[in-house]
Amino acid sequence: MKLGPYWVALVVSLLCGGLYFAGLATPSIDELLPYRRSAIADGQWWRLVTGNLLHTNHWHLLMNLAGLWVVLFLHHFHYHLKGLSALFFVLCLLEGIGLYLSYPQLLGYVGLSGMLHGLFAYGAVQDIVRKLRSGYLLLVGVIIKVGYEQLYGASSDVTAMIGARVATEAHLVGLLCGLICALVMFIKLKMSPSKISA
């Protein structure tokens, strides 16, 4: 079992947890880092990435971090430390850019869930590329989930638990970003078949 992916999960967990508790102690952190459309328009581009790392409450934090560990447990064999670190950053950045360009009505957003949908989709496609049939089930499953959310919204229980509206737009953007990254990697692998992991 590769340890690289779990080091990424550990670092992200510590970073998100540290930012959450730092925000409780110093509320200005929660003003400086979240995705805020108006602030991004004023040139605070870092928020495109850092908004993914903040959370509304401890339940939101725990749910997202649990999701990260589960996703990496499912697909750890596809990743090494450097590649997964780069993928994580790219997915966070694309998430922010995608929300900014596609949803002008979304004024604010925090959380890893959008990026997690992208990482899950990316891993499912890597399964398919490596001829693992489970990849098809996982990919169809996440597409159905996100499609359902676009039509009917998220669970009211989850909304109540995290104390905020679930940004289902972020899940759709994340899914599409994960598929785009998987397509780019697929093309790269076709051009350089010796490199088979992220």
Residues 32, 56: contact at Cβ < 8 Å? no
Measure the CA–CA gap between 169 and 150, rounded to whole angstroms: 7
Confidence of residue 45 (pLDDT cuts 50, 70, 90): very high
Q: Please tell me whether residue 20 adopts helix, strand or coil conformation.
A: helix
Q: What percent of the chain has pLDDT over 90?
A: 81
Residues 107, 55: contact at Cβ < 8 Å? no
Above 80 in pLDDT, residue 155?
A: yes
Measure the CA–CA gap between 120 and 129, rounded to whole angstroms: 14
**What would the mean pLDDT of 44-73 be, rounded to a whole number?**
97
Would you state the pLDDT for residue 4?
82
Instruction: State the DSSP code for 3.
Output: S
Q: What are phi and psi of 170, to 5 degrees?
A: -65, -35
- Residue 156: C-alpha distances to residues 18, 149, 161, 162, 173 (Å): 28, 12, 9, 10, 21
Above 60 in pLDDT, residue 194?
A: no
Token pair for 80: 């090494």
- Residue 162: C-alpha distances to residues 108, 114, 149, 166, 168 (Å): 15, 15, 17, 8, 14
Above 70 in pLDDT, residue 197?
A: no
Q: How many beta carbons lie within 10 A of that of residue 84, not counting itself?
A: 24
Above 70 in pLDDT, residue 40?
A: yes
Above 80 in pLDDT, residue 1?
A: no
Measure the CA–CA gap between 120 and 178, rounded to whole angstroms: 8
Residues 178, 121: contact at Cβ < 8 Å? yes
**What would the mean pLDDT of 31-51 be, rounded to a whole number?**
97
Query: Taking Cα atoms as reference points, which of 115, 140, 113, 112 lies closest to residue 125?
Result: 140
Would you state the pLDDT for residue 153?
87
